[in-house]
Every structure is written in structure tokens, then in C-alpha cells.
Structure 1
Amino acid sequence: MSYRFANFVKALSIILCLMNRFIGSSQIGINSLEVTCARLEMALDELSHDLTLSNGRIPNTDSAENTCCKLAGAEFLST
């Protein structure tokens, strides 16, 4: 878990550097910042989900038997 936290801190540092260098002065910088922010949001979502699972706040429903038949149009798989 500390590896993910270290990656999160690194991404946050990158965002702050990008903001200092590019906001208001470069469209390329703004686009780069948007991409980095989107990636950071995904990492935070994953980290939050993993922490919630590890704390037992939600059950682990990611197993193949639980997800197979939840796919839209996959009703025939359970028959």
C-alpha cells in the first residue's frame, strides 16, 4: 500500500510543478495537467477502493463468478 501512496505523492508533486510552469501560459501545459489530473483521479479511486476493501467496509465482489453474469447482455451465461 505504501508504494501506491508514494506514487500518489509523486503524481501530486508533478501536478503542482505543471501548475507552476504552464497554467495560463501554454495550452500544451494545460492539456498535460488535465491528463495528469485524470490519472491522479483514477489512482485515488483505486486507492480508495482498495482501502475500503482492506478495511472490510464493502465485500470483495471482483471475482469472476460475481462479475460474469452482471455484464449487460450476459444473461445467457447463467443458464
Structure 2
Amino acid sequence: MFGRRESVPFAFLAPTDSFRSNVTPPPRERASAGELAGRWLLGVCIVAGLVGSLVIGMPALSTDRSATGAEQSEASDRH
């Protein structure tokens, strides 16, 4: 049914790993002015978003010690 499988010597397979083509790929196209502006705008938007989230999130991450001290002193004065 099946044809006879012949073993392939390793020495025959080894040269194919170092094969290099003599065909050079076409040169990359330069990005147009619109594409460059779009990439720049996208980068600015990402940086602005990160900076904005940091500015908005910093008050939530900081501990305000003066406010907690005033609340504690008020509560102790009432009792």
C-alpha cells in the first residue's frame, strides 16, 4: 500500500539550514506625512492619558494626615 520510505541522511539536511536566497526583498515604503502625523498624535494621546490618570489618581493614593488628625481631635472633644 504505502511506498517504501527511504531514510534521509542527516548530512543531506544540514546544508538547507544555511541556505540564503539571492533575492532581495523590495525596499520599505516611506511613511507619508499623514501617517507620521497620525503616529505622533497617537503617541501624544497615550502619554496624555497616562499623565492624566496619574494626576487624577495621585490624590486617592496619598494619605492626608492633617485631615485625619483634625477629625480625631473633634471626636475626642465631643466625648
Tell me if both proteins adopt one fold, taking TM over 0.5 as the criterion: no
Q: Which has the higher contact order (CA 8 A, sep 6+)?
A: 1
Bigger Rg, which one: 2
Q: TM-score, normalised by structure 2?
A: 0.37
Q: What TM-score do you get using the length of structure 1 for normalisation?
A: 0.37
